[in-house]
Amino acid sequence: MNRYHGGSGLNGLPTSKMGGSLSISPNRGFQTSRSRLATRQRNKLLVKLAIIGSIFALFVLVFLPSFRSAIFSVFSLGLLSSVEELQLETVRYYDLSNHGGTARGWEKEERVLLCAPLRDAESHLPMFFAHLRNFTYPHHLIDLAFLVSDSKDRTLSLLSQMLTELQNDPDPKQPYGEISILEKDFGQKVNQDVESRHGFAAQASRRKLMAQARNWLLSAALRPTHSWVYWRDVDVETAPFTILEDLMRHNKDVIVPNVWRPLPDWLGGEQPYDLNSWQESETALALADTLDEDAVIVEGYAEYATWRPHLAYLRDPYGDPDMEMEIDGVGGVSILAKARVFRSGVHFPAFSFEKHAETEGFGKMSKRMGFSVVGLPHYTVWHLYEPSVDDIRHMEEMENERKNREREEKERAERAKKIKEEFNDPGSQWEKDKSDIEGISKKEEENKAREGKEQGPNAKAGKDSAAAGPAKEEAKAPAKDKADGKQVDSKEVKGESKEAKKQKG
């Protein structure tokens, strides 16, 4: 109705409230009444159309919320501009044949998933992140996935803090791709210290729990875009920065380097660490046939003498690092596998698969499904050396021995000093005595000269005290012999414990 009044003035001229009446205003006096009627009819039609149209628009706005929001977004774009930002992508399309993995993945921008299972690993994290920063494979192509389980220390908080720092690094080459931290407890009973981890009795159940953890990690973190999966333990101390490229270049389905660990000099300087990478032997197959269906063979323990050729023992420090060796079981310290191996269903069996579990079972299953499994005997990664209880006891003994030796040395030095002092004292005494004696002898000579036939017994006593020097040297010699004997003893102990180490993993 407002519109009707507003629109009733023709040509925008001011009209009175009675402007539409039959009274003739002076400036419209030339119009005929017929044409006025036609104009008014047209106006009325327009007004009706406008009213109907606006009512229809109102109905549409009231009853169709989607239309309303569309209109609203048009009006409010300048004010809120929220709808434009709230766009979600819900559909993803991937061709898996583009993510098969090739020898030169870094050139083809192939994505790698780096998986690291963690448990009470706070102390290893700084070392691990130093490795991460040094990787030469393009960081933005590597997705990191961590599974933190049953940790009682600050592993989780330290991990997320260090990862956040890494992602916010000002150097654009540092930040990695997708980062997932999965928290999942399995209620592990086995302690994570070296002794209980490597005890024979604990192995089978421990390996099954580890397998479960690895499967959870992989299934939650593997994406269609991944071409490679790299399993890496956080307690690797030294590894080439180019390890991903080095392993990738071989273009194998599953590949592992050799894993050794450095040792203190008294234990021989170095030692094979990962005994889970091996080639199958007839003895082991025969042994497997005698075992119960659910039994699990664990390598590296005297209880199961398998006589398998181990990757670790075949290392030659000067050998060709590119030399390959076909293996059947793999160790989990550093595995590079093509993602399609995992995509086709190979996993870490948490049950007895061909009498093996976890990474060894993974190797067996990969082989069974026709994938290539290869080890590099002369390409070495160094695992952190964590002294065992025996080692610690032995080191304590050595430390005590060292202290004893030091104390003895000190005592000996003191004794020598004392003796020397005693020796020096008699020296000065001797000088004194000498002068005294000389004085006396002079007197005596004088006396002799006076008495003529008297002998000097004091001179002979002076000669005896001069012989005390060599006696001190003699006292020193037995002490030295004793120390040498102890050194020989500790060398024997060293040899023994080296033998003992070889039996462990």
Partner 1 sequence: MPAIPRAIRRTNPITILLAGLLSLGFLAFIFSPSSNAATTSTAKRKFDSAAAHPLSPPTAPFQKTASSAKGKRPPPPVVHYHMNNLTTTSDPVANEENVLILTPLARFYQGYWDNLLALSYPHSLIALGFITPKTREGNAATAALQAAIAQTQNGPEEKRFASITILRQDFDPPIASQDESERHKKENQKARRSAMSRARNSLLFTTIGPSTSWVLWLDSDIIESPPSLIQDLTSYDKPVIVPNCFQRYRNDKGAWDVRPYDYNSWQDSQTAADLAAKMAPDDILIEGYSDMATYRTLMAKTADVTEGRDQKQSNTAGWGWRDRIAGQSRGS
Contact at 8 Å (CB) between 305 and 286? no
Q: Which two tokens stand for residue 121?
A: 């690993």
Q: Is 1 among the residues that bind partner 1 (CB under 8 A)?
A: yes
Contact at 8 Å (CB) between 277 and 308? no
Q: Which is nearer to partner 1, 52 or 471 (CB)?
A: 52
The one among 68, 402, 405, 491 contacting partner 1 by CB under 8 A: 68
From 92-100, 237-245, 433-441, 458-466, give the range in contact with partner 1 by CB under 8 A.
92-100
Q: Is 77 among the residues that bind partner 1 (CB under 8 A)?
A: no
Q: Is 343 among the residues that bind partner 1 (CB under 8 A)?
A: yes
Q: Is 340 among the residues that bind partner 1 (CB under 8 A)?
A: yes
Work out how close the CB of 94 gets to partner 1 at its nearest, in angstroms, rounded to a whole number: 5
Q: Is 221 among the residues that bind partner 1 (CB under 8 A)?
A: yes
Q: Is 92 among the residues that bind partner 1 (CB under 8 A)?
A: yes
Residue 298: closest CA among 205, 209, 195, 365: 205
Q: Which is nearer to partner 1, 10 or 179 (CB)?
A: 179
Q: Phi and psi at residue 237, in whole multiples of 5°?
A: -90, -45
> Binding marks (x or -) toward partner 1, 346..365, rule CB under 8 A?
---xxx--------------
> Binding marks (x or -) toward partner 1, 11..50, rule CB under 8 A?
---------x-------------------xx--x------
**Torsion, Cα of 153, 155, 157, 162 (10° steps):** 150
Give the span between the Cα atoms of 253 and 233, in whole angstroms: 20
Residues sharing a CB contact under 8 Å with residue 305, sequence separation 6 or more, in sequence order:
283
Q: Which is nearer to partner 1, 76 or 465 (CB)?
A: 76
How many chain residues bind partner 1 (CB under 8 A)?
Answer: 74
From 76-84, 124-132, 244-252, 293-301, give the range in contact with partner 1 by CB under 8 A.
76-84
End-to-end Cα, the chain, rounded Å:
95
Query: Which residues, numbered 151-210, are part of the site for partner 1 (CB under 8 A)?
Result: 160, 163-164, 167-168, 175-185
Buried b (16+ CB within 10 A) or exposed e, 404-429: eeeeeeeeeeebeeeeeeeeeebbee
From 65-73, 120-128, 301-309, 395-403, give the range in contact with partner 1 by CB under 8 A.
65-73
Contact at 8 Å (CB) between 177 and 142? yes
The one among 100, 126, 321, 439 contacting partner 1 by CB under 8 A: 100
Buried b (16+ CB within 10 A) or exposed e, 101-113: beeebeeeebbbb
From 91-99, 234-242, 261-269, 377-385, give the range in contact with partner 1 by CB under 8 A.
91-99
Q: Is 85 among the residues that bind partner 1 (CB under 8 A)?
A: yes
Q: Is 91 among the residues that bind partner 1 (CB under 8 A)?
A: yes
The one among 224, 264, 319, 426 contacting partner 1 by CB under 8 A: 224
| 326, β-bridge pairs | 374
Work out how close the CB of 156 gets to partner 1 at its nearest, in angstroms, rounded to a whole number: 9
What type of residue sits at position 132? L
Task: Count Cα neighbours of 207 within 13 Å in the Cβ-side half-sphere.
Answer: 28
Q: How many CB atoms lie within 10 A of CB 272?
A: 22
The one among 112, 114, 209, 218 contacting partner 1 by CB under 8 A: 218
Q: Is 220 among the residues that bind partner 1 (CB under 8 A)?
A: yes
Residue 330: closest CA among 287, 293, 375: 375
